[in-house]
Amino acid sequence: MPSRPPASARTSKTTPSLLAETHQQTDDKKNALTTNHGVPISDNQNTLKAGVRGPALLEDFVLREKITHFDHERIPERIVHARGSGAHGFFQVYESLADITKAAFLQDPKIKTEVFVRFSTVAGGAGSGDLPRDVRGFATKFYTSEGNYDLVGNNIPVFFIQDAMKFPDLVHSVKMEPDKGFPQAASAHDNFWDFASLSPESMHMLMWTMSDRAIPRSLRMIEGFGVHTFRMVNAQGVSHFVKFHWRPKLGMASVLWDEAVKINGADPDFHRRDLWDSILNGDFPEWELGLQVMDEKAAAALDFDILDPTKLIPEEIIPLRIVGRLVLNRNPDNFFAETEQVAFLPSNIVSGIEFSNDPLLQGRLFSYQDTQLSRLGGPNFHQIPVNAPRCPMHNFQRDGLRQMEVPKGRVNYEPNSFDTGTPRECPMHGFTSVPEELDGTKIRKRSETFADHYSQARLFFRSMTETEQQHIISAFAFELAKVETKAIRLRMLGHLAIIDPALHTGVADALGMSDAADTIQPAVQPRDLPPSPSLSILNKAPSTLQGRKIGVLITDGFDGALLATLRKSAAKEKATLMIVAPKVGGATDAEGTLVEADGSLSGSPSILFDTVVLLLSAEGAQDLATLSSGVDWVSNAFAHLKIIGHTPASQPLLDIAGVRPDDGLIPLENDKGIKTYIATAKNGRLWQREPTLRRPG
C-alpha cells in the first residue's frame, strides 16, 4: 500500500482540525454530542473498524443508530435518489470472465441476463426537476441464475466522504435547510458549503459536481461507476480487486448551466421523457461494461489507497477491460410498481463478486437493507415482482409485515429432522467469502493512507480542457455567490487555492473576493499528478448525431424539398428530427402542402434540441422577428453555442436575435449546404463562440 506519510503530515484529524477553527473545544457535558440514549460520542467522524483499514464492526452502536435513524427519516419517499427513471433490459458478456470470476452470468456470451436499471438525481425530492446540478444515480439489478446482483453506483466515480458515519451529515447538509424547507434540489446554500468546506475529503468530488458531468444532456449519455473497489474471485479462489465502469454507446454529452435552468422551466421531465421516448421509438440506450482489474501487488503500487472512495484510478494507469453490453429495451408497465418500488441493495451480490473494506461501502451494506423496511413496508419487500429473483428462492424466513406468500408445512427452522425435502445449506455450491487474514486493533480512526485530499482534485481540474475549466470556475462562482456567510466563502477559497491557483483566482475574481482567502494547512501536501485526458468529456466526445435531436423551425412558404433532404440526412445519422412551427397545427410549404408540427414555437423552445435549423420564408422570418418567442428561439440557440442551419430568407430574424456570423452558422441554399450543416453539427457545440458571449461568474 502507499508509503507512510511523514509524521508532520499524518492525520486522521483533518476534519476535526478544521472543526476546531469554528467550534470551541469544551468538556462541558451539556454540549456533548450523544446517542439517542444519552451516551456521549467521542468520535463522530469514523466507523469502528478492525484496524484502520479493516472491515466495519457490527457492534458499532453509534454508526447503527445514526444510520438507522437516517434511513427512516422519510416515509415512503427515498431520502436520496427520490426522483428516478427506470427501464428493463438485458446484459450480455462478450466473452467468459472465468479468469477473474466464477459469477455465472459472466461466463457465457450466449446468455442474456435480465436487468432493471434506475437512474436518479440525488438531492431533490420526487417532485423536483430533472436538471439540477447534481450527481446522477446509476443502479442496475441483474436477475442472474444464482440470485440477484445489484451494482448500485453513480455517474461520478468518487464520492464526497470516506466513511459511512458521515453520510447522514452530508445528506442533511445538501438537502433543504430544515427551518426554511428550501432550496430544493440545490447545493447552492450555506449548509452544504459549510459542511463541504469543513470536510477536505470532499474536494475531489466537488470538482466533479461543479463540472459538466453534473448537468448531463441525457441519461443515455452518462457514464456509470460502481464508485467503490470490489473483489472478483474465480473458481480457483484467486481474488482480484475491481472497479466497475459503464460507458454509453452514444458518448457523453452535457448541457450548459443557463440551458439547464431554462430546460427545468420548459420541461422538468426532460430526462424522463428522453429516456422513455428513445425506448418507445426503438432507439435502445446501450452501455458497455468496463472493468479495471488489479491484483494485490498492483493495488499496493498505487499512490493512494484503493479503499478510499474519494479516489479513482486513472485509465492511463489501469486501462479498462471492456467485457459486455447493457441494453435497455422496455419501458416499465407501471411507474410506481417498478421504478418506485425497486429496491437496490449493495449487499445483493452473487458468488464470484465480493466486497472490499471500503468504510463507506461497509456502511451502505447495512443502510440500504434497513431503508427498505420503512419504504416498502417491512421485511418482505423482496416479494414485490420487480425485486423478486428470477431463480428459485428457498429459506425459512416467515411471516412479517406485507407477507404475500403462503408458506406450507410445520418446519420453519434448520437443521430439522422432519422433512428431508426442506432447504439445506449447500457447502459445495453456496456463497463463500474469500479468506482474508485480519489482524487489527478495534479502533475509530481514519487510515493515514486516506489523508491526501487535494492531489486528485488537482488532477481532475488539470485534466479538463480550457472550456471545461471555465465551466468549473463558473459553477463554483454561482454556488458560492448564493452562500450568505462570508466565512464559508473564504474557507472554500482557501481550499481552491490549494487545488490550483488558476481555479482560485478565477472563482475569487468572479466573486469579487480576490484579496482574501483562508489559509488552510493540508494534512498531506498535494502532488502534481500526470493529467488524465480520459476524465474530460470534450477530449473524448464522439463526432455523431446519433441519439441527438434536431429542431427545425418552419413557417408558411418554406422550402419543402430542403426539408425532405434534411429528413433523409437526419435519418441516416440516426438523429431525431422534430418540426416546430409558430402554431402546433403546422405550416404549409411553398407548394401549399401542410406539414404538421411536433411542437409550437412557445412549447418547443430551442433549449430542447442539440442543434437547430431555420427553414423560413422571407415573410415568415419578418413575422417571427416581431415576436419575442421567435427572437428567443434563435438567440438562445446561438447563446447555447448550437450549430444553426438557416435559409437566406431567415437573415432578418438572425439579425434581430443578435446572431453574429461564425463557423457554427451554416447557410442552407441547397443539398450541399445541408451536407455541410450535418458534418458541422456532428461535432457538437461551437465552443469557440463561448468566450465572446459569457465569462465566469
Catalytic residues: 81, 154
Residue 96: phi, psi to the nearest 5?
A: -60, 135
Cell digits of residue 290: 468496463
CA 607 to chain centroid = 22
Pairing of the two strands 611-615 and 549-554? parallel
CB-CB contact of 644 with 687 (8 Å) = no
Question: Does an H or E element contain 646, and which?
Answer: strand 644-646
Bridge partners (DSSP) of residue 120 are 84, 137
Query: How many Cβ atoms sit within 10 Å of the Cβ of residue 407?
Result: 12
Q: Find all residues with CB under 8 Å of 316, minimum gap 6, and list them.
A: 530, 532, 533, 534
Q: How far apart are CA 263 and CA 344, in angstroms?
A: 29
Between the two ends of the chain, the Cα-to-Cα distance in Å is 42
Q: Where are the alpha helices (DSSP H) in 23-97?
A: 61-71
Bridge partners (DSSP) of residue 56 are 49
Q: How far apart are CA 76 and CA 273, in angstroms?
A: 24
Of residues 516, 636, 542, 452, the one with CA closest to residue 221: 542
**How far from 379 is each of 138, 382, 402, 524, CA to CA, in Å?**
24, 8, 8, 45
Query: How many Cβ atoms sit within 10 Å of the Cβ of residue 259?
Result: 21
Of residues 106, 86, 535, 534, the one with CA closest to residue 325: 106
